């Protein structure tokens, strides 16, 4: 039985138990495909027959309409079947969210039932030989010719290459640098297998994603009708971005199902392995390792489903989806390493699934945006959030003789705005934050006055070597700090001195 969350609907709880049972029943078969190194077609068909590909597809298009949460529930469980989980994930990522948001009604009627039924597998095609993390740098072109588009180019690292029927691609439709600058150069299309000129170029031998073909595809004058264009011409970047939160979330959910099986394996294994006349679960290091994996499993699930709820509530959890993707994949790699360590040499053999976790986790850290790219998103978007942008005012508190974060006004507020007083404000900041610069706004808040008057005084003080400035590319002053000469001129030496009570006077100089 899988632990559900209190905010899940009854239908979501039911599907969770159903798909978990399905996985338990088919685990043995999935293992056979692993050993036979064959694409698990019959198992994929079974998943399709159960209707799981339609977990997040609206009912009117033949789906189960269980939202992003439903998609994650199915991905989490199918992830325990390794190859099957990846095929499921990429298949719904190849168009579902993009079509729901950007396609017209006819296109929805045409494609969504196929996604829901799983009768055709899908592949998502962003990456190219020269466009990896820099996904906007796509070279593949689409040129309009009458009612058709002609596609030329290549895509690589495509999961499900060859076995998929539906390829959701992004191609360049405009070369104008000014349009490119505004990300208006891309358009998204669906290309079906079998179109003349559309061929499979190469299959990558990979560290993991066992039995899932991953490779290069080639487009040579491939003609598709305009009906295969999803979203407006030049809106491909928006289509790609809109699908990414869902993609990262589903991609993170598929990683965590296997944690449960590894925990069960480790309990089983360490209760049966004896060294130094003790079962190995009695070595604290091994128990710590299992506890660590359980903690990661619970945290990963909680955060992923929290994030899915945000998506289902109509929000765009950009930061959260990136955190889920980054943490779950990193944790999967770490879980693999910990499990191997607990099992010793056995863990390194393919006879146990611990080594698979490590290999899959490492791929996870690269696929669908590397951990570095997730960090970039987490940092950049968070830096704009008001919650992290409260102006912190460190003010000197004479009562305790220390700098304290305070809401009080600066002691310089209201003084006449002239060079002497402005230098005092900046020099005083050395006493409070010795290693930090002040922004012009910090200075203005402390003393008042107009921005232009303050800027003029900065220029003058800089010329006299009383302050140093840090400027942006346009030459605008963005930070200021007093020079040592400026500090001497503003206040006597004693003003900056500070010693703890216990410090002996005889040691001062
Ligand atoms: C198994 C597998 C399956 C995949 N499936 C698909 C698929 O189905 N469809 C698809 O379109 N793509 C797929 N990919 C491609 C995947 O999304 C890319 O590999 C990934 O986005 C990274 O691109 P890259 O490999 O070109 O690395 P690069 O972009 O060349 O990055 C190399 C290194 O530089 C770092 N780096 C790059 N830019 C920055 C930056 N601005 N700041 C900091 N660090 C940076 C990266 O983090 C990385 O460590 C798959 C990849 C793999 C391995």
Q: Report phi then psi at 419, rounded to 5.
A: -60, -40
- The torsion angles phi and psi of 38, rounded to 5 degrees, stand at -125, 145
pLDDT digits (tens, 9 = 90+) for 86-114: 999 999 999 999 999 999 999 999 999 99
96-98-100-101 Cα dihedral, nearest 10 degrees = 160
User: CA 229 to CA 192: how far, in whole Å?
Assistant: 12
Cβ-in-10-Å burial (0-12, 13-18, 19+) of 55 comes to buried
| 483 secondary structure, DSSP code | -
Ligand 1 site-directed mutation target among 88, 126, 132, most atoms within 8 Å of CB:
132
Tokens encoding 492: 């006597």
pLDDT for res 2: 85
Give the pocket of ligand 1 (CB within 6 Å): 90, 124-127, 132-133, 157-159, 206, 209, 214, 363, 366-370, 372-373, 376
Contact by Cβ (8 Å): 257, 76:
yes
d(CA 67, CA 59): 11
Atom 32 of ligand 1, nearest CA residue: 133
- Which atom of ligand 1 has the smallest separation from the CA of 135? 21
Centroid of ligand 1 to alpha carbon of 370 (angstroms): 6
CA atoms within 13 A on the CB side of 174: 19
**How far is CA 205 from each of CA 40, 44, 212, rounded to the nearest angstrom?**
17, 22, 10
Q: Which atom of ligand 1 is nearest to the CA of 125?
A: 11
For residue 237, what are its two tokens?
Answer: 């970047």
| Ligand 1 nearest atom to the CA of residue 206, by list position | 1
What is the distance in A from the centroid of ligand 1 to the CA of 375?
14
As given in the structure block, the two tokens for residue 28 are 């043995």
Instruction: Quote the distance between the C-alpha of residue 441 and its chain's center.
Output: 33
- 367 CA to middle of ligand 1, Å? 6
Q: What is the pLDDT of residues 406-434, one digit of tens each?
A: 999 999 999 999 999 999 999 999 999 99
pLDDT given at position 390: 81
The count of other CB atoms within 10 Å of the CB of residue 63 is: 23
Decide if 64 contacts 54 (C-beta within 8 A). yes
- As annotated, the active-site residues are 247
Cite the DSSP H helix spans in 317-476: 318-343, 345-348, 354-364, 371-383, 419-432, 440-447, 451-463
Cα of 336 vs centre of ligand 1, distance in Å, is 22
The ligand 1 atom nearest the CA atom of 369: 21
Which protein residue's CA is at the shortest distance from atom 31 of ligand 1?
133
Pocket test for ligand 1, best of 367, 377, 378, 379 (most atoms within 8 A of CB): 367
Chain-centroid distance, C-alpha 14: 29
* Whole-number pLDDT of residue 242: 84
Burial class (CB in 10 A: 0-12, 13-18, 19+), 161: buried
* Among candidate residues 414, 419, 486, 420, the one with its CA nearest the CA of residue 455: 419
> For 411, phi and psi rounded to 5 degrees?
-70, -15
* 328/325 Cα distance (integer angstroms): 6
Q: Output DSSP code: residue 32.
A: H
Looking at ligand 1, which residue's alpha carbon is closest to its atom 27? 132
Q: How many helices (H) and strands (E) does the chain have?
A: 17, 14
Whole-angstrom CA distances from 88 to 85, 95, 193, 230 are 5, 13, 18, 21
* Measured distance CA(355)–CA(341) in Å, rounded: 10
Instruction: Report the distance separating Cα 223 and Cα 195, nearest Å.
Output: 7
d(CA 509, CA 505): 9
Distance 292 CA to ligand 1 centre (A): 29
Could you tell me the domains of the chain? 1-120 (1.10.540.10), 138-234 (2.40.110.10), 240-381 (1.20.140.10), 394-507 (1.10.10.10)
| pTM for the full predicted model | 0.93
* Tokens at 501, concatenated: 């009570």
Low-confidence ranges of the chain (pLDDT < 70): none
Interatomic CA distance for residues 230 and 103, integer angstroms = 5
- Dump the DSSP string for 91-133: HHHTTHHHHHHH--HHHHHHHHHHHHHTSS-EEEE--BTTBSS
By C-alpha distance, which of 501, 481, 68, 65 is closest to 248? 68
8 A C-beta contact, residue 143 and residue 105: no
């Amino acid at each position: 039985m899988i632990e559900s969350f209190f905010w899940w609907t009854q239908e979501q709880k039911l599907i969770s138990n159903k798909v978990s049972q399905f996985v338990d029943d088919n685990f043995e078969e999935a293992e056979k495909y692993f050993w036979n190194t064959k694409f698990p077609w019959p198992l994929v068909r079974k998943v399709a027959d159960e209707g799981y590909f339609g977990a997040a597809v609206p009912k009117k298009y033949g789906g189960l309409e269980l939202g992003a949460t439903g998609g994650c529930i199915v991905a989490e469980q199918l992830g325990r079947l390794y190859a099957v989980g990846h095929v499921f994930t990429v298949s719904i990522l190849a168009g579902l969210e993009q079509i729901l948001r950007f396609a017209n009604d006819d296109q929805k009627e045409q494609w969504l039932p196929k996604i829901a039924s799983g009768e055709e597998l899908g592949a998502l095609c962003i990456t190219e030989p020269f466009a990896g993390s820099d996904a906007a740098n796509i070279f593949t072109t689409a040129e309009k010719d009458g009612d058709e588009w002609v596609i030329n180019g290549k895509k690589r690292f495509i999961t499900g290459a060859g076995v998929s029927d539906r390829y959701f691609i992004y191609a360049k439709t405009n070369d104008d640098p000014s349009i490119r600058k505004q990300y208006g150069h891309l358009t998204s299309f669906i290309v079906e297998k079998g179109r003349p000129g559309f061929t499979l170029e190469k299959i990558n031998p990979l560290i993991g994603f066992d039995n899932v073909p991953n490779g290069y595809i080639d487009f040579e004058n491939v003609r598709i009708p305009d009906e295969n264009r999803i979203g407006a011409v030049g809106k491909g970047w928006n289509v790609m971005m809109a699908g990414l939160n869902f993609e990262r979330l589903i991609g993170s959910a598929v990683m965590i199902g296997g944690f449960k099986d590894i925990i069960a394996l480790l309990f089983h294994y360490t209760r049966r392995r004896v060294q130094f006349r003790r079962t190995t679960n009695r070595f604290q290091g091994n128990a710590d390792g299992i506890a660590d994996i359980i903690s990661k499993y619970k945290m990963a699930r909680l955060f992923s489903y929290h994030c899915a709820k945000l998506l289902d509530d109509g929000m765009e959890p950009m930061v959260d989806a990136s955190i889920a993707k980054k943490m779950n994949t990193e944790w999967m790699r770490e879980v693999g390493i910990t499990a191997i360590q607990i099992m010793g040499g056995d863990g390194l053999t393919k006879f146990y699934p611990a080594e698979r976790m490590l290999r899959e986790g490492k791929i996870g850290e690269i696929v669908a945006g590397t951990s570095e790219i997730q960090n970039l998103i987490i940092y950049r978007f968070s830096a704009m959030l008001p919650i992290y942008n409260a102006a912190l005012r460190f003010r000197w508190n004479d009562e305790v003789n220390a700098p304290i974060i305070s809401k009080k006004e600066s002691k310089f507020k209201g003084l006449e705005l002239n060079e002497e007083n402005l230098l005092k404000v900046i020099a005083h900041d050395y006493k409070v934050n010795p290693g930090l610069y002040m922004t012009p706004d910090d200075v203005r808040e402390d003393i008042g006055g107009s921005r232009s008057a303050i800027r003029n005084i900065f220029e003058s003080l800089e010329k006299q070597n009383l302050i140093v400035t840090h400027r942006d590319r346009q030459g605008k002053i963005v930070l200021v700090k007093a020079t040592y000469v400026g500090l001497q001129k503003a206040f006597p030496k004693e003003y900056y001195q500070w010693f703890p009570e216990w410090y002996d006077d005889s040691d001062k100089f």
